[in-house]
């Protein structure tokens, strides 16, 4: 792919970068997207049952089995897209990644300023007292039944994944950090997200209106493409290393 020279100039001259990522950035690590592909998760599973508080409280075993089946607690590895993003960070004054992904692949790749607006898969959280425990303390490979659900070691209530389900608020601290990064950004990347949920639309709209350069990386168009000054159509694992090369060669 040829990167337009006007974009290369923006990439080199920007100082504060806001990166907004979704499930597509982890696809080349073997994780499924939620929408947009034939094997996407919401084509196979009902989000009302598997990703809402109501669904969890009516059948927690089913939700834990869903988490296992979509490899929520997997040991996936960062792909060249995550790694390129981590290596871009030192070239800028600030480089904040706001991700909808609950995987830890940005952190594993070496990114240091990662804001997780949909929670994280490395912890589980008590539904009653809020105690958090490392997910790695538990075995998520077996079949869950009402008799073997993970329970809080402090109070005995049910544990739940430490992620945001439909109908729940986004974590306030994460939103505050994302807003601060949004205010200062002069370059925004929108990578591997359909833009169908949460703040994505608002982030891209705000950055565009404030004059930041908005660059989308996605093999397909999304509901955020409208705000993009550049749409780089292809997999992020292939395109992000090309953008890193622009910085390395400057």
Q: Which of ligand OAD, Zn ion, none does residue 206 bind to, with CB < 5 to 8 Å depending on kind?
A: none
Point out which residues pair with 132 in neighbouring strands: 125
Closest approach of Cβ 229 to ligand OAD, in Å? 18
Q: Which stretch binds Zn ion (CB under 5 A): 56-64, 149-157, 189-197, 217-225?
A: 149-157
Instruction: Using the minimum distance from each CB to ligand OAD, give the nearer residue, 120 or 236.
Output: 236
Count of residues touching Zn ion (by CB under 5 A): 8
Q: Which of ligand OAD, Zn ion, none does residue 214 bind to, with CB < 5 to 8 Å depending on kind?
A: none
Please confirm, yes or no, whether 106 is among the known catalytic residues. Answer: no
Helix (H, G, I), strand (E, B) or coil at 236: helix
Neighbouring residues of 211: CB distance < 8 A, sequence distance ≥ 6: 186
Kindly name the residue from 106, 118, 206, 231 that is annotated as catalytic.
Answer: 118
Determine the Cα angle at 225 with ends 243 and 21, to 5°.
55
70 burial level (CB within 10 Å; 0-12, 13-18, 19+):
middle
Binding site for ligand OAD (CB under 6 A): 22-25, 27-28, 33-37, 40, 51, 100, 118, 164-166, 192-194, 196-197, 217-220, 222, 235-237
**Residue 152 contacts residue 159 (beta carbons within 8 Å):** yes
Sign of the CA dihedral with 228 first, then 231, 235, and 239 last: negative
Q: Which of ligand OAD, Zn ion, none does residue 55 bind to, with CB < 5 to 8 Å depending on kind?
A: none
Binding site for Zn ion (CB under 5 A): 126, 128-129, 131, 152, 154-155, 157
């Amino acid at each position: 792919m040829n990167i337009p020279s006007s974009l290369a100039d923006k990439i080199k001259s920007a100082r504060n970068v806001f990166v907004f990522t979704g499930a597509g950035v982890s696809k080349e690590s073997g994780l499924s997207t939620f929408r947009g592909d034939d094997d996407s998760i919401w084509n196979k599973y009902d989000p009302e049952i598997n990703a809402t508080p109501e669904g969890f409280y009516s059948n927690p075993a089913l939700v834990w089995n869903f988490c296992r089946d979509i490899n929520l607690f997997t040991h996936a590895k960062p792909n060249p897209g995550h790694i390129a993003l981590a290596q871009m960070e030192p070239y800028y004054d600030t480089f904040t990644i706001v991700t909808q992904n609950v995987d830890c692949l940005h952190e594993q790749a070496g990114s240091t300023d990662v804001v997780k607006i949909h929670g994280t898969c490395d912890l589980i959280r008590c539904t009653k007292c809020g105690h958090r425990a490392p997910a790695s303390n538990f075995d998520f490979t077996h079949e869950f039944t009402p008799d073997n659900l993970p329970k809080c070691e402090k109070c005995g209530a049910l544990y739940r994944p430490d992620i945001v389900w439909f109908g729940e608020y986004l974590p306030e601290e994460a939103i505050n950090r994302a807003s601060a990064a949004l205010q200062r950004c002069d370059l925004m990347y929108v990578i591997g997200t359909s833009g169908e949920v949460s703040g994505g639309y608002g982030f891209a709209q705000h950055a565009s209106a404030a004059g930041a350069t908005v660059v989308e990386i996605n093999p397909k168009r999304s509901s955020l493409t409208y705000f993009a000054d550049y749409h780089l159509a292809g997999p992020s694992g292939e395109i992000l290393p090309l953008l890193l090369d622009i910085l390395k060669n400057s």
